[in-house]
Amino acid sequence: MLRTFERSAGISIQAQSPVQDYADVVLKSLTEIVHLEYTPSKLPPKPSDEWTRFICISDTHSRTFDVPSGDVLLHSGDLTNTGTVNDFEKTMDWLYSLPHKTKIIIAGNHDLTLDTEFYEREHARMHGNRGLGKQVCAVQGTSASSCSQAQPIMNMLQGSRAKKSGIVYLQDQEYKFQAKKDGRFWSVYGSPWSPEFCHWGFAYNPEDAEELVSKFPKTDILLTHGPPLEIFDEVLSGFKAGCKALRSRLSELRPRMHLFGHIHEAHGAHIHTWDPAFDNAPPTIQNSDSSMSSDGRPASTEESGPGDAVLDKTVFINAASWPMGRNAFRRDGDRPPFGGPGFQPVVVDLKD
C-alpha cells in the first residue's frame, strides 16, 4: 500500500526503513517544499512559475541513474570513485545528457585529481604504478611532471561541451545565475572540503576549519561536500563526522539551502526556521529511528503560521546517492540501486 504523508517546517524526516510500506515523503513550509521520497512518474510539478525547482544529488561515484527534470541540478561532490579520466568520462557524459538548464557541481574527497597539491604528493599511493598519477589536474595549473592528462579532465568540467550543457564547476568559488528567463538571480558558493578522513583529497585538519569556513560568503545556496556537525553527519558507528566550525558559521550565513553529502548513511532533509527565541541556533538533526514513530509516520507535526514566512529558513539536505546504512536494505533483502528508494535525488522547490 502506498501511503503519503507530509511534514511542516522545523521537522526533519528520514528515508523509509525496509520494514515500512514505501511512502511519498514531503516536507513543507510557506516558501519551501522538499520531496524526499516519491514515485518518479507521479512527482507533482512545482506550485507555479514563482517557484524554482532544484534537483539535489551527491556521492554518485561514477554511477548513473534517472534524475527528475527541474530548473537547476546541484551535485555536492564525489563525482567519481578516484578521479581517473575514465571515472570522469562516465560521470560527465551522464551530466551532459541531463535536461537541466543549469548544473552546478563541486568535487569531494574521492575526486582526488582535482586536489592538485594532495595528488602531487599521493598519486603513487592512490593509483600505484599504472601511470594514473599523470591524470592530475587543477583549476589553476600544476606541475608538468604529473599533468599530461590535466587538460582532458578540466576540459570535461569547463570546456565547450560542459558550457553548452550548462555545467558550472565550483572550487571555493561563488557564482550567480538566473534559473529562468527574466527570473531572479540566485547566488551559490561551492566548497569541496571536508574534515580529514582516512587521508583522502580535499581534507582539512580541525585547527584549520575556522579559517576555511570564515571565507564562505553569504549566499542563497551553500554547497559543501562535508556536512556540518550534528546535521545528517552520523556514521554507522554513531560517530558524528561533521564540521563544528561550519555548524557555528551557519547562524550567520543562513542560506536558503545547504546541500552536502559525504556521509552516505545519513541521507535526509530538514527545513529549519532560524528563531530568535532560540538564539538562532542551528538544528541538531540525525537520520535515525528516533525521528520516526513506530508506524513510519512523523513522530510530531508543526503547522506553519502567518508569522512563519518572516523568519529565515534553511533547507538542509544530505543528498548522498550511495545506498548505505539502515535504509540500504529493502524487505526482500536486496540493496536499492544508486539513486533508488531511500537515496533518491532530493527535489526542492523554493519560492522566488
Beta carbons of 315 and 269 less than 8 angstroms apart:
yes
Output the pTM of the full model: 0.87
Quickly tell me which residue has 602531487 as its cell.
120
All cell numbers assigned to 169 = 564547476
Which band of pLDDT confidence, cut at 50, 70 and 90, is reported for residue 320? very high
pLDDT digits (tens, 9 = 90+) for 145-170: 445 455 688 899 999 999 999 999 99
pLDDT digits (tens, 9 = 90+) for 271-284: 999 999 888 899 99
The pLDDT of residue 294: 30
Q: How far apart are the C-alpha atoms of 304 and 10, rounded to whole Å?
A: 9
The pLDDT of residue 283: 93
The pLDDT of residue 284: 93
All cell numbers assigned to 30 = 510557506
The pLDDT of residue 12: 45
Q: How far apart are the C-alpha atoms of 317 and 314, rounded to whole Å?
A: 10
pLDDT digits (tens, 9 = 90+) for 17-69: 443 445 789 999 999 999 999 999 999 999 999 999 999 999 999 999 999 99
Residue 134 has pLDDT above 70, yes or no: no
The pLDDT of residue 309: 61
Run of H or E residues at 164: helix 160-164
pLDDT digits (tens, 9 = 90+) for 208-261: 999 999 999 999 999 999 999 999 999 999 999 999 999 999 999 999 999 999
Residues 6+ apart with CB under 8 A from 218: 252, 253, 254, 255
Quickly tell me which residue has 540493496 as its cell.
335
| Neighbour-count burial of 127, counting CB atoms closer than 10 A to its CB (0-12 exposed, 13-18 middle, 19+ buried) | buried
The pLDDT of residue 68: 98
The pLDDT of residue 125: 73
144 vs 241, more confident: 241
Task: Give backbone dihedrals phi and psi of 96, rounded to 5 degrees, phi first.
Answer: -55, -35
Which band of pLDDT confidence, cut at 50, 70 and 90, is reported for residue 327? confident
The pLDDT of residue 289: 43
Choose the weakest-confidence range: 75-89, 191-205, 252-266: 191-205
List of domains in the chain: 3-109+152-351 (3.60.21.10)
